[in-house]
Chains A and B, each alone.
Chain A
Amino acid sequence: MPPRPCQLCSNNRAMIKRPKTGQQVCKECFFFAFEEEIHKTISDANTFKRGERVAIGASGGKDSTVLAHVMKTLNERHDYGLELFLLSIDEGITGYRDDSLETVKRNKEQYQLPLKILSYNELYGWTMDRIVEAVGKKNNCTFCGVFRRQALDRGASSLNISHIVTGHNADDVAETVLMNILRGDVSRLGRCVEITTRGEDTINRSKPFKYTYEKEIVMYAYFKKLDYFSTECIYSPEAYRGFARTYIKDLEALRPSTIIDIIHSAENIRISEVVQDALPKQQKCQRCGYISSNELCKACVLLQGLEKGTAKMAIGSKAKHVSQEVSSDTRTIPMFKMPDQQVRNNQTNQTNQAKQSV
């Protein structure tokens, strides 16, 4: 069979069948389309401001490694004017995170980007290994997820960074949409497909890979020969998520556009006003100052459970019964402080709004 020409440039030999479009393209056209689609996602959503300090959430895995590479490339090619940093969280998982952090350290050298590593132990006084000892493997993802979210924001805040980009790809977003439907979480159903989540009391989060297929990220890393760590976490996720993940993969095999179709569905959903009115209002945690929908944020509740030896009580609906009193010798999370830049931006926005209203 003669070699097929690239369906984009018609000159070179096609080497890749893109899962996203079904087109057969050459390597160069694939790189071009992959990078420019991400640029389009970023520019259409006005994701960054010129001069912004942006942290790339780096775990050493394929998504964050490709993200660091692409962000650096696009920042130079399209002159975004961003100051980029690598930000890693060390959850304290022996045989997994310590190895992947070595990859991040190599990425630091390869891309010449400053790196900050913040550990759970430093922030909460607990490592994931110890948490798993205390709560078992069944619910440990709850602790890890909640702690990581805060840790990233606190790490960014310490670097005076007001924007974090993460390597969540289209497959992850589709899986999140599905999980939110399965657990009836309509408020997050709408929010989980936003490219950037912004708030006055939170650090901006963006997902430049929102429309990028996981398979294409792997292909990009493979053909660019990028250095990444590919082992799954040793504390595997819960069975319920396993159903959703397998379902998404099987759907993709049946109809490759399904991943994007799920995102299209979620982007076009409106939540009933009655449901929206019933949602809890955002406030600041009374103990650590981090954004929360209750008086105490989830991380403080979980940490208190760990410290008191009642960690399982702090998960799910049982958390309502956890006492908010804390003795003076119990470890708590330090007060959260928004980065100065973000505070300044918020103040400017408020002043502008006041001027407009006048």
Chain B
Amino acid sequence: MSCSNPQSEVKDPGADIPERRTKPKNNQCIKCKTAAPVIQIRHALYCRECFVYATSGKFLKWFLSNFKPNDVHPVFYVAVSGGPSSRYLLQLLHTQMSPRKGKGSFIRPGSAEKLVVIYVDQSKVVPGAENLRNHIEDMVKDFPSVEIIEADVSESWKGSQASISAYLSGQPGQPPSATASEPTADLFDSTLSTSSQESHLALLTHHIILREARKHADSLLGKDSTAPLFLGTSATRVTIKLLSSMSRGRGWSVGSGEVQPESTQYGLNVYQPLLNTSSKEIAYYNRFAIPAHSQAVVNRSFTTFSPPKSSIDRLTEELVVSLERGFPSTVSTVARTGNKISFAGETKEGERLCTLCGWPARAKANEWKNGIAITKLAGEEDESNPLADMLCYGCYTNLTDSRARSHVNYALPGWTDEYAEKQKVTESEMRKEIEDCLIDDNDNDNE
């Protein structure tokens, strides 16, 4: 039945829609009940002091539920882009690590002897973006025992032997035709659509953070050590990520409910303490509690100053912000949903992982899509597609986006070779798997 409301036949359509924004009845702070409020968070009003106290308290509560009291770690790694969320995270981690004054019985949750800030510079690939190293140094100059690691996105291609064009042409071993630094420009200037570019940049940045943290932990703590890595993903950002990932065919890869497979490959414990804090709370906390000289800096992205319809992420951001304006529970609802879902495929040992993003992947990335559409007439044979064999559905769709102008000469990041090598099943492993069924001439059948 076609009604303009397609949901109507599968679900009570009006139910459970997040509550509309309402104007609170009392014009008083919800905590102290005396001061005049300055900010409304969802349906509650706060004065400045109570808001800062409540926000810090929320972080402390999270910390206490994830770290043992008085447990001191050798190092905390924290990914910092220089933006509001990572600035907020830095501030709260700093507060956490600072020695407390007085003899109060206040419990001190886990802390670290050293804070290592990992900054990934995107200025070489994003037009108009700046290197924010100096700004980040300003942010942490009052912090005790801080080290900054700066990495460049273009480092992803170090040692790369695999290019998309080579995979598409069926010669995956062929090195990229350009020099090591050129494929960067090729990818971000002319190769992929804006939606693919931004998704790919986020993926590369995330992996560089993990790799840099691992490299540092290896030298400081030794191989096979584990260390906590903090990411400043806010509830608003995770909502945008969940919706845009759904639109990219990989909507399960956002939740924090399960350990993310790509982080386990690097032996790191990844924490996202801001998953229940909205970007509005972060912005106001920064404004109220952080000195002006060390405020966050907003760097340019691919879609800064672009209209909403310029990319999937930008469009999703516009949707979330518009909804949040009228229905303030949207972000917290979606962020919680992300924690309840995971990938439905194989999760046992030996599963196939995407060589680009490191998430579980089904056998052939293009098989599902080919199965639901007729693109050839009967009798025509399917061409082999090595790229589809090594990537997951989301990465494959992203790198072969039909809006892409071309996808030649783009070098896959260096770690794809590493991942692919790890996943190769050796002849001895294959034999081990089937050895029960093999007949050995020396075996005595009568046994």
Contacts and interface: CB of A to CB of B under 8 A. Distances in A.
B246 A181 contact: yes
Nearest to B375: A21
B373 A167 contact: no
Contacts of A256: 402
Interface in A248-302: 250-251, 253-258, 260-262, 264-272, 275, 298
A60 B12 CA distance: 23
Contact of B3 (A37, A40, A233, A243): A233
A186 B16 CA distance: 12
Given A166-B1, A254-B309, A268-B345, A238 B247 contact: no
Chief secondary structure at chain A's binding surface: helix
Interface string B293-306: 00000000000000
A141 B5 contact: yes
Interface stretch (B69-77, B109-117, B182-190, B333-341): B333-341
A154 interface: no
A175 B395 CA distance: 23
B5 A237 contact: yes
Interface string A7-40: 0110000000000111100000100110011001
B242 interface: yes
Contacts, number: 243
Contacts of A271: 340-341
Interface string A218-253: 000000000000001100111111010001001101
Contacts of B403: 254-255
A57 interface: yes
Interface in B302-338: 308-309, 311-312, 315-316, 319, 322-323, 326-327, 330, 333-334, 336-337
A3 interface: no
A238 B246 contact: no
A167 B2 contact: yes
Contact of B242 (A40, A58, A180, A181): A181
B130 to A, nearest CB: 27
A251 B315 contact: yes
A132 interface: no
B251 A266 contact: yes
B337 to A, nearest CB: 5
Interface string B378-419: 000000000000000110010001110000000000000000
A333 to B, nearest CB: 16
A272 B373 contact: no
Interface string A149-178: 100100000000000001110011001111
Contacts of B11: 145, 176, 180, 185, 188, 192
B292 interface: no
B2 A269 contact: no
A167 B1 CA distance: 6
B430 interface: no
Contacts of A261: 246-249, 393-394, 397
A97 to B, nearest CB: 9
B374 interface: yes
A64 B1 contact: yes
Contacts of A148: 1, 3, 8-9
Given A63-B2, A64-B1, A178 B374 contact: no
Nearest to B376: A8
Contacts of A184: 16, 333-334, 336-337
Contact of A262 (B9, B247, B341): B247
B333 A183 contact: yes
A236 B252 CA distance: 33
Given A186-B337, A186-B340, A179 B7 contact: yes
Given A257-B397, A269-B341, A149 B9 contact: yes
Interface in B328-368: 330, 333-334, 336-337, 339-345, 362, 368
B222 interface: no
A186 B341 contact: yes
Contact of B251 (A22, A37, A269, A298): A269
Given A61-B2, A243-B322, A261-B397, A33 B374 contact: yes
B17 interface: yes
B342 A175 contact: no
A167 B9 CA distance: 11
Contact of B393 (A40, A258, A264): A264
18 contacts: A44-B371, A142-B13, A142-B14, A144-B3, A146-B12, A171-B6, A180-B11, A184-B16, A184-B334, A233-B4, A233-B5, A255-B247, A260-B369, A261-B394, A264-B249, A268-B343, A316-B15, A316-B16
Given A264-B369, A270-B252, 5 more contacts: A176-B6, A254-B195, A257-B402, A262-B246, A271-B340
Interface of B: 1-18, 193, 195, 242-243, 245-252, 257, 308-309, 311-312, 315-316, 319, 322-323, 326-327, 330, 333-334, 336-337, 339-345, 362, 368-369, 371-377, 393-394, 397, 401-403
Sorted nearest first, the 6 A-B pairs with minimum C-beta distance are A61-B2, A145-B8, A142-B14, A265-B251, A172-B6, A261-B249
